[in-house]
A and B are shown apart, each in its own frame.
Chain A
Amino acid sequence: MRFIFKTSYDQDIRLARHGGHVFWYGLLVAFLIVAPWVIDEYWLAQLTFVLIYGIVGLGLMLLAGFTGQFSIGHAAFLGAGAYTQGVLTNLGVPFPIALIAAAALSAAVGVVVALPALRVKGIYLGIATLSFGFIVEEVFARWDSVTGGNSGLHVKSPQLFGWSLGSGNGFYFLCLVVAVLSTLGILNLLRSPTGRAFVAIRDSEISAQSMGIHLARYKTMSFAISAALAGLGGALYAHKLSFISPDQFNILQSIDLLLMVVIGGLGSVHGAFLGAIFLIAMPQLISMGKDWLPPVIGQAPGLQGLVYGLVLIAFVLFEPLGLYGRWLKIRTWLQLFPFYRKGLFKRQKSFTKSDRLR
């Protein structure tokens, strides 16, 4: 069991709270750096996808998990970034500039989406973002001249200072760097006044206001940052797939993103990446497991949807804190062994109480 003896406020502010953190995260970073030479190409590609979805998940986690604004149309931002990157790269714009433009444009779309969001809450906000998602998807499909419409858009591979990053190792490192920087940025925000303001808005808007937090400004900021990260992820996504089309950014993709943050663990940065791992690993696990199932189940086209649905239901019912929550429980069990009690993480039984006023 670990006892942390605190002697300075800095220990509470630091990102790595104690030696154990430094050790394990150091190990993780070391593994990620040598990955291209340790694991084979196929799995490296999957890892790259995990990083890309992790970046998007970070954004959605910030918006939904930390600011409490649930966006059911998040794929719109992913698409905005992907298409901006695709169009600009095909026009010959240098890669770093295109990347920044993709993030900036997505952030601008985020600000536009935030406008109705400022006035509504809860399910109305969800429907507003859902609506935006549909409208943006339709724009991708109809604006043939720019986006290539329903026949899709081929995206040239990224060039950085003359190196072709293409797919493979170079691109993997690019994604790794972007993912690490985004994570550090978000972690920094969360331990500063801005991050705390987001959490305040999630927990009680009225008292956040009475503490001097400008609701509109911070909600817009949260949407903008979240959209920028999604746009960044989208840009990398476009290069990775080298071909994008509007139906990759539809409602199903938006729900996948939500699935990712919910199963990962709402309200934690770890949750974004754990959720991304889940999202990429699940189809692999299903196809590996198919061989063991009787053909009538294994070969059925609906199997993936069924498994996703069951896993989602299982998590909401039994593990609302998500994968990260489960990890916390396991870690506590290991730390407190053999004194762990089931009641440590017990959820309070609660009853629905309405916030509505007729």
Chain B
Amino acid sequence: MSSSDILLSAKDLSVRFGGVLAVNKVSFDVRRGEVFTLIGPNGAGKTTVFNLISRIYTPTMGEITWHGEAAGPLALTHQAPHAIAALGIARTFQNIELFEHATVLHNLLIGRHTHRQTGFWSEVFFTPATRRAEIAAREKAERVIELLDLQHHRDSMVAGLPYGVRKVVELARALCTEPKLLLLDEPSSGLNVEETADMAFWIQDIQQELGVSVLMVEHDMSLVSKVSDRVLAMNMGEVLATGTPREVQADARVIEAYLGTVDDVSSLRRVAP
């Protein structure tokens, strides 16, 4: 495994909020083309790690390095929050942060913002170049709609949509940015069995067909086992174990902190092919 395989690396990442050390010396690497999952109990700091990557928070210590640029490794901690998307890192939010008073299509088109080619004045006069850019953006958005089966919600106002559909729109919007790395925060929370199965297929499609690497926070262990290449277990802001799903699920400390006793876990274990 050479270092050019690594897309994102975090080293000794720590962040302190007042007296609380939310994330404590967390280190991990996300390799190109893999699905890497963070698991752990609530409050372990998983979403905080996401927020550190998205630059909503600034780490008190440690660094996050992005290897996705041709020019060389880039320290994310010096980037402004809005620059993260342009680098090719997109994310979804745990509690859904969609643009409520816009249609689904509008939400997806906003996702195309980093690929904008038109300047202010050409937009005011709506030049033919702007029109072409709009149609190109629409075509890209339509491909995502097709992938995620959102056709009949295209013109619906987000505010009126059911929860499951909104989760999918969140995912679609993130995909519209054409990311290299996709941060998914609890993609299956609130979804029923069928929707979770769909989500698993989509994550695999995203990985295999679109070539996007995925960093995911998840609680549904069957989903984790099905799609993840590697897993990192966290508890109280610290790393417990890193490895393949099977290795981590078998780790005694992980079982104690999160998964439950050995007896409980056996029903969750993926059946060997």
CB of B112 within 8 A of CB of A13, answer: no
B82 close to A (CB within 8 Å): yes
Q: Report the minimal beta-carbon distance from B64 to chain A, rounded to whole angstroms.
A: 15
> A196-B110, A202-B101 are contacts. A211–B173 as well, Cβ < 8 Å?
yes
**A55, B97: Cα distance in complex, Å:** 33
CB of B99 within 8 A of CB of A200, answer: yes
CB of A192 within 8 A of CB of B126, answer: yes
Q: Report the minimal beta-carbon distance from A224 to chain B, rounded to whole angstroms.
A: 10
A227 close to B (CB within 8 Å): no
**A188, B134: Cα distance in complex, Å:** 11
Q: Which of B101, B112, B120 meets A194, CB within 8 Å?
A: B120
Chain B residue, CB-CB nearest to A267: B101
**A212, B111: Cα distance in complex, Å:** 8
Give residues of chain B (84-140) contacting chain A, Cβ–Cβ below 8 Å: 84-86, 90-91, 93, 97-102, 105-106, 109-114, 116, 118, 120, 123-126, 130-131, 134-135, 137-139
**A197, B125: Cα distance in complex, Å:** 17
CB of B85 within 8 A of CB of A212, answer: yes
**A203, B81: Cα distance in complex, Å:** 17
> A188-B125, A194-B123, A197-B110 are contacts. A207–B99 as well, Cβ < 8 Å?
yes
Q: Report the minimal beta-carbon distance from A221 to chain B, rounded to whole angstroms.
A: 7
B54 close to A (CB within 8 Å): yes
**A296, B85: Cα distance in complex, Å:** 65
CB of B54 within 8 A of CB of A193, answer: no
Q: Report the minimal beta-carbon distance from B124 to chain A, rounded to whole angstroms.
A: 5
CB of B116 within 8 A of CB of A193, answer: yes
B225 close to A (CB within 8 Å): no
Q: Report the minimal beta-carbon distance from A240 to chain B, rounded to whole angstroms.
A: 26
**A9, B136: Cα distance in complex, Å:** 10
Mask of A306-342 contacts with B, CB within 8 angstroms, 1/0 = 0000000000000000000000000000000000000
**A207, B177: Cα distance in complex, Å:** 12
Chain A residue, CB-CB nearest to B120: A194
CB of A215 within 8 A of CB of B82, answer: yes
Mask of B204-220 contacts with A, CB within 8 angstroms, 1/0 = 00000000000000000
CB of B110 within 8 A of CB of A192, answer: no
Mask of A211-228 contacts with B, CB within 8 angstroms, 1/0 = 111110000010000000
A210 close to B (CB within 8 Å): yes
**Residues of A within 8 A of B (CB-CB), count:** 32
- Give the residue among A189, A192, A194, A197 with the most B Cβ atoms within 10 A: A192
Q: Report the minimal beta-carbon distance from A358 to chain B, rounded to whole angstroms.
A: 12
> A192-B126, A196-B109 are contacts. A210–B54 as well, Cβ < 8 Å?
yes
CB of A210 within 8 A of CB of B84, answer: yes
Q: Report the minimal beta-carbon distance from A210 to chain B, rounded to whole angstroms.
A: 6
B161 close to A (CB within 8 Å): no
Q: Report the minimal beta-carbon distance from B234 to chain A, rounded to whole angstroms.
A: 22
CB of A210 within 8 A of CB of B124, answer: no
CB of A210 within 8 A of CB of B99, answer: no
Q: Which residues of B contact A215 (CB under 8 A)?
A: 82
CB of B113 within 8 A of CB of A193, answer: yes
Interface of B is mostly: helix
Q: Which residues of B contact A195 (CB under 8 A)?
A: 123
Mask of A184-210 contacts with B, CB within 8 angstroms, 1/0 = 010011011111110110111011111
B61 close to A (CB within 8 Å): no
CB of B91 within 8 A of CB of A210, answer: yes
Chain A residue, CB-CB nearest to B55: A209
Q: Which of B56, B138, B159 meets A206, CB within 8 Å?
A: B56
**A221, B119: Cα distance in complex, Å:** 13
**A73, B173: Cα distance in complex, Å:** 36
CB of A207 within 8 A of CB of B101, answer: no
CB of A212 within 8 A of CB of B124, answer: no
A291 close to B (CB within 8 Å): no
A12 close to B (CB within 8 Å): yes
**A20, B131: Cα distance in complex, Å:** 23
A355 close to B (CB within 8 Å): no
**A10, B114: Cα distance in complex, Å:** 22
Give residues of chain A (132-188) contacting chain B, Cβ–Cβ below 8 Å: 185, 188
**A19, B173: Cα distance in complex, Å:** 32
**A10, B80: Cα distance in complex, Å:** 35
CB of A13 within 8 A of CB of B134, answer: yes
Give residues of chain A (95-134) contacting chain B, Cβ–Cβ below 8 Å: none
Q: Which residues of B contact A12 (CB under 8 A)?
A: 105, 138
Chain B residue, CB-CB nearest to A207: B97
> A194-B123, A209-B82, A211-B173 are contacts. A199–B99 as well, Cβ < 8 Å?
yes
Q: Which residues of A contact B173 (CB under 8 A)?
A: 211
**A214, B91: Cα distance in complex, Å:** 16
Mask of B24-63 contacts with A, CB within 8 angstroms, 1/0 = 0000000000000000000000000000001010000000
- Give the residue among A204, A207, A267 with the most B Cβ atoms within 10 A: A207
Q: Which residues of B contact A209 (CB under 8 A)?
A: 81-82
> A197-B110, A210-B90, A214-B82 are contacts. A203–B99 as well, Cβ < 8 Å?
yes
Since A193-B118, A212-B82, A212-B83 are in contact, a sample of 16 more A-B pairs with Cβ atoms closer than 8 Å, ordered by chain A residue number, is: A9-B134, A9-B139, A188-B125, A192-B134, A193-B113, A203-B100, A203-B101, A204-B97, A206-B56, A206-B93, A206-B97, A209-B81, A210-B84, A210-B90, A213-B82, A221-B120
- Which B positions have Cβ atoms within 8 angstroms of A? 54, 56, 80-86, 90-91, 93, 97-102, 105-106, 109-114, 116, 118, 120, 123-126, 130-131, 134-135, 137-139, 159, 173, 177
For this complex, 26 residue pairs linking A to B, each with C-beta atoms less than 8 Å apart, are A9-B138, A9-B139, A12-B138, A13-B135, A188-B124, A189-B123, A192-B126, A192-B134, A193-B109, A193-B123, A193-B137, A195-B123, A197-B113, A203-B100, A203-B101, A204-B97, A208-B99, A208-B110, A210-B81, A211-B85, A211-B110, A211-B113, A212-B84, A212-B114, A214-B82, A348-B159
